[in-house]
Amino acid sequence: MSSSKSSSAKVLQSPSPPPGSQSALQRTLTWKDAFWFSSGVPALLLFSIGSIAATVGNISWLVWTLSISMGFLQAFTYAEIAGLFPNKSGGASVYGAMAWVRYSKFAAAISVWCNWLAWTPVLALGTSLAASYVLNNFFAGSAITTWEFTLLNLEWIRPDLTMRINGGFIVAVLFLFALFGIQNLGVLKAARFQKIVAIIALLPLILVGVIPLFTNGIELKNLLPMNPLSGSWDMAGFQLLFGGMFLAAWSTYAFETAICYTSEFKDPKKDTFKAIISAGLLCFFMFTIVPFSFQNALGLKGLLDPAVVSGEGVGGAMAIMVGGGVVIGVIILLLLILSLLLAIMTSMGGASRTLYQASVDGWLPKSLSKVNKNGAPTRSMWAGIILNIFLLTLSDYTFVLAISNVNYLLFNFLNLNSGWIHRLDRPKWSRPFKAPNWLLITNVVFAFVNITFLGFGADIWGPGTLWAGLISAGIVIPLFVYRHYITDKGKFQEGMLDGADGASAEKRAGIWPYVAIGAGIIVMLIAHSIAK
């Protein structure tokens, strides 16, 4: 048997970790549990539905539809590579890193790090928005709502950017620790809790997506003309489109978090594919119908309301859309807060497992691979909480979101390309699901389309956004160097993967992974240089 085939068998047949293990996650989930974990993704609409409309204009609903369509097709590549590693947690970036590690350890480390750095800010963004809902609607005008203390002026990074502590910060941190306590109970209890919250919290988004279309019909005056905000389809118009696609990707592609739990599935061969596709179908419905319904009911003028753009006025707008009064408005507001908490739990669960597996595999500090008696990756969750407490002190959350998405599209580029690398290097490995060749190739094209969105659109969200995002991605390099070359003496952990160091398996992809990275960098820089 070839070394590749042998290793595949070893990975697929390795035993599940013993219950109560202090060093490994536990196999207690089915695909349905992972579906409920990823059900918080549609709530990410609340973060940027106004911002994208303010950027692209009347084509806002089209941007959301195109973006979720791309995200759904890309999920099939992720489903294939996840099936190769049933004993790994952490999601698509971890499985993609196993393709890149034979060609560049640094590219592999960047893939994992960028995925975590893209996901974990949901904690800060979600809790801050939930806190603003609570304070502005139930404590308006009180001292806790208006109080603020500036810690540091950061205008040298971005105009009007500061570090500060205010009432919103305090409420957001309380939300963070409450959800941390739930996640600490273990993945199965957290999944059951999230299922209950999801059934309740998704209701307002579904109602807003459906009811106005039946009560008011299609309002073409709110959907036409199909021109970008610049007024015409010139270079500036396409840049606005790409900027919208850039930011929408952070929300619409995010259901790939459903495969963060592969090593916790009872039957990973079957559950992995079911989890990501079922989550994708939910998101396809929500990301097409809800933005369309919003624009159809409110028009561009309504979407450009400053309160809607910031996210704080989305609840009031939704109440108007379903024809409700004050009582309905309060109910919708409470449900929206639950929706945000659902999104935060989705992020906390997925991001912590990415960090956990990155530690187990040897990319990041060893201490992050510890789990508690319930099988929860507590130390990885603590790392996310500490970072997000820092992010909560920043005054500009759009900046945080944009930098987060720079990292997300870098991860996306590397991971979509990992599909064909795995095909070449591991042709005989068992694949519970194998994407059609045409779809695998289409997703490679999408990888370069997404890197074009990155180059063209990042700086629409503020000068220097692209470079700030690239710098944040590079932070992993010294972390990886310390772990791999100092702590582990240049060797990966035994059993991580055959040929992880490139020594025991043929690199059949040749120079093409390097060509792909080089081409990606060139495409990004060209797009950035010609963007207005």
Asked whether the predicted pLDDT for residue 385 surpasses 80, the reply is yes
Give φ, ψ of 166 to 5 degrees.
-145, -175
**Does the residue 3 lie in any domain?**
no
pLDDT per position as a tens digit, 93-105? 999 999 999 999 9
What is the residue range of 65's domain?
31-496+505-531
Tally of CB atoms within 10 A around 461: 21
**Does the residue 26 lie in any domain?**
no
Token readout for 530 is: 């010609």
pLDDT per position as a tens digit, 120-132? 999 999 999 899 8
In angstroms, rounded to a whole number, what is the distance separating the alpha carbons of residues 287 and 295? 13
Among 90, 91, 87, 107, residue whose Cα is nearest residue 99:
107
**Does the residue 372 lie in any domain?**
yes
CB 2 within 8 A of CB 428: yes
Instruction: Provide the pLDDT for residue 306.
Output: 84
CB 438 within 8 A of CB 115: no
Among 145, 151, 152, residue whose Cα is nearest residue 168:
145
Instruction: Provide the pLDDT for residue 406.
Output: 95
Q: For residue 429, give the DSSP letter.
A: S
Q: At what angle do helices 122-138 and 167-183 cross, to 10 degrees?
A: 120
Cis peptide before 225 (omega within 30 of 0): yes
In angstroms, rounded to a whole number, what is the distance separating the alpha carbons of residues 373 and 396? 38
Q: Is the dihedral of CA 222, 228, 230, 234 positive or negative?
A: negative
| Mean pLDDT for all residues in the chain | 86
In angstroms, rounded to a whole number, what is the distance separating the alpha carbons of residues 275 and 258? 6
Asked whether the predicted pLDDT for residue 340 surpasses 70, the reply is yes
Instruction: Provide the pLDDT for residue 21.
Output: 37
- Alpha-helix runs per DSSP H in 362-435: 378-392, 397-425
DSSP letters, 234-282, are SHHHHHHHHHHHHHHHHHHTGGGGGGGGGGGBSSHHHHHHHHHHHHHHH
How many CA atoms lie within 13 Å of 256's alpha carbon, on the beta-carbon side?
38
pLDDT per position as a tens digit, 455-507? 998 988 888 899 999 999 999 999 999 999 999 998 887 667 654 444 445 68
Asked whether the predicted pLDDT for residue 34 surpasses 50, the reply is yes
In angstroms, rounded to a whole number, what is the distance separating the alpha carbons of residues 418 and 443? 10
In angstroms, rounded to a whole number, what is the distance separating the alpha carbons of residues 418 and 290? 32
In angstroms, rounded to a whole number, what is the distance separating the alpha carbons of residues 14 and 4? 15
- Structural domains counted in the chain: 1
pTM for this model (two decimals):
0.88
**Does the residue 170 lie in any domain?**
yes
In angstroms, rounded to a whole number, what is the distance separating the alpha carbons of residues 460 and 446? 21
Side chain identity at 289, as an amino acid letter?
Answer: I
Token readout for 315 is: 């609840």
Q: For residue 151, give the DSSP letter.
A: E
43 — pLDDT class (breaks 50, 70, 90): confident
Instruction: Provide the pLDDT for residue 420.
Output: 97
Instruction: Provide the pLDDT for residue 320.
Output: 79
Instruction: Provide the pLDDT for residue 371.
Output: 86
Instruction: Provide the pLDDT for residue 308.
Output: 81
- Express as a percent the part of the chain with pLDDT over 70: 92
Asked whether the predicted pLDDT for residue 230 surpasses 50, the reply is yes
In angstroms, rounded to a whole number, what is the distance separating the alpha carbons of residues 470 and 91? 22
**Does the residue 17 lie in any domain?**
no
Instruction: Provide the pLDDT for residue 19.
Output: 38
Mean pLDDT of 180-186: 86
CATH number at residue 269: 1.20.1740.10
pLDDT per position as a tens digit, 289-318? 999 998 998 888 888 888 888 777 777 788
Q: Which residue has the higher pLDDT, 190 or 68?
A: 68
Name residue 492's beta-bridge partners: none
Instruction: Provide the pLDDT for residue 337.
Output: 87
Convert 30-49 into a string of H (helix), E (strand) and C (coil). CHHHHHHHHCCHHHHHHHHH
Q: Which residue has the higher pLDDT, 117 or 326?
A: 117
Token readout for 142 is: 């009180």
Q: Which residue has the higher pLDDT, 34 or 516?
A: 516
In angstroms, rounded to a whole number, what is the distance separating the alpha carbons of residues 199 and 36? 9
208 — pLDDT class (breaks 50, 70, 90): confident
Tell me which range, 26-40, 190-204, 227-241, 272-286, is most confidently predicted by mean pLDDT. 272-286
**Does the residue 10 lie in any domain?**
no
- Express as a percent the part of the chain with pLDDT over 90: 45
Token readout for 76 is: 């099939």
pLDDT per position as a tens digit, 390-426? 999 998 888 888 899 999 999 999 999 999 999 999 9
The number of helix segments (H) and strand segments (E) in the chain equals: 21, 2
The burial class, CB within 10 Å (0-12 / 13-18 / 19+), for 293 is buried
**Does the residue 21 lie in any domain?**
no
**Does the residue 325 lie in any domain?**
yes
14 — pLDDT class (breaks 50, 70, 90): very low
CB 309 within 8 A of CB 51: yes
